Amino acid sequence: MAQPLVGGVRSGLRVLVTAGASGIGRVMAETFLAHGARVMICDVDEAALDGWRKAHPDQPAIRADVASQSDVDALFEAAAHALGGLDVLVNNAGIAGPTAAVEDIDPDEWRRTIDVNLNGQFYCLRRAVPLLKAAGNGAIINIASVAGRLGYAWRLPYAASKWAIVGMTESLSIELGRDGIRVNAILPGIVEGPRIDKVIGARAQELGIGFEEMRQRYLEKTALGRMVTPQDVANMAVFLCSSMGASISGQALSVCGHVISL
């Protein structure tokens, strides 16, 4: 017999969100909390971490740069201790990287973008998987981008890192499926907030046009003609960790209002 849809996640679900002190990560972390999960976050920004701790004094939060293997090792030791194990990893940390023509990209900026966006996810995955296996099941959500599916001119290191995340997600889903671990990527589109304003501003400057005109050009790239919100992305994360997502693995799920091109 058909069952009614059941929303939300299991109460007490143990969730780790990287870069959870602000932006999309914070909204995801708070949405999991609102559904009764236990959430630990990390971030590199001490001021943002303080803001999180004030709002959520009972939730563990530590400073960790995901691009540093030793920071990540310490993060997972702390998570295993504070949460008593792990059921969900949300691999969210990522930086925008440079906006520049290929010949103008500084190799150090290339390396830093790949270090945070791709290597950082790998460092977290290799420490999360033993905990998820010990839990007997689990879910991994790798935050990619629609730039992991579409070409993104003048943003080469970002696009390369996000395409790699999609490949890593699909491969890992096959590897971990029989352990009861589901692995998916969420591909946010153009998300409202300070980060996209910075990207739009940089591109407007490159082209010598105004911010508003550039913003309109971005909106025209979407079928819905608008940006999405961090909450839209958080809703997908919770959905994937709920009973409604129980058979979804190895997928790259866009939350983008249908971005047609970048």
* Polymer length of the chain: 262
Residues 6+ apart with CB under 8 A from 149: 163, 166, 187, 252, 254
73 binds ligand NAD (CB under 6 A): no
Q: How far is CA 26 from CA 1, 61, 173, 225, in A?
A: 38, 12, 25, 25
Does the footprint of ligand NAD cover residue 109 (CB under 6 A)?
A: no
State which residue, 9 or 259, has the beta carbon closest to ligand NAD: 259
Query: Which ranges of the chain would DSSP assign to H, the alpha helix?
Result: 23-34, 46-55, 69-83, 107-114, 120-135, 156-176, 194-207, 211-220, 230-241
Q: Which of 75, 160, 166, 191 binds ligand NAD (CB under 6 A)?
A: 191
- Compute the least distance from the CB of residue 237 to ligand NAD, in Å: 11
Starting at the edge strand found earlier in the chain, the sheet holding 138-143 runs 61-63, 38-43, 14-18, 88-91, 138-143, 181-188, 252-255
Minimum distance from residue 25 beta carbon to ligand NAD (Å): 6
Using CB under 6 A, which residues numbered 37 to 56 contact ligand NAD?
Answer: 42-45, 48
Q: Under the criterion CB under 6 A, does residue 253 sit at the interface with ligand NAD?
A: no
Which CB, 23 or 245, lies closer to ligand NAD?
A: 23
What are the backbone angles phi and psi of residue 2, rounded to the nearest 5°?
-65, 145
Cβ atoms of 123 and 64 within 8 Å: the answer is: no
Under the binding rule (CB under 6 A), the answer on residue 22 touching ligand NAD is yes
Residue 1 CB, nearest approach to ligand NAD (Å): 40
Residue among 193 and 250 whose Cβ is closer to ligand NAD: 193
The residues near 109 (Cβ < 8 Å, ≥ 6 apart) are: 97, 98, 157
- Contact letters (x/-) for ligand NAD, 207-246, by CB under 6 A? ----------------------------------------
The reply on whether position 165 binds ligand NAD by CB under 6 A is no
Which one of the listed residues 123, 152, 158, 218 is annotated catalytic?
Answer: 158
Stretch that binds ligand NAD, among 4-12, 16-24, 75-83, 203-211 (CB under 6 A): 16-24
Residue 191 φ/ψ, nearest 5 degrees: -100, 130
Tell which residue, 77, 66, 154, 70, has the closest CA to residue 118: 66
Name the residue nearer to ligand NAD (CB basis): 93 or 125.
Answer: 93
Q: Does 92 bind ligand NAD (CB under 6 A)?
A: yes
State how far the alpha carbon of 157 is from the alpha carbons of 26, 152, 195, 226, in Å.
Answer: 24, 10, 16, 25
158 is catalytic: yes
The residue ranges that bind ligand NAD (CB under 6 A) are 18-19, 21-25, 42-45, 48, 65-67, 92-95, 116, 120, 143, 145, 188, 190-191, 193, 195-196
Q: Which residues are catalytic?
A: 158
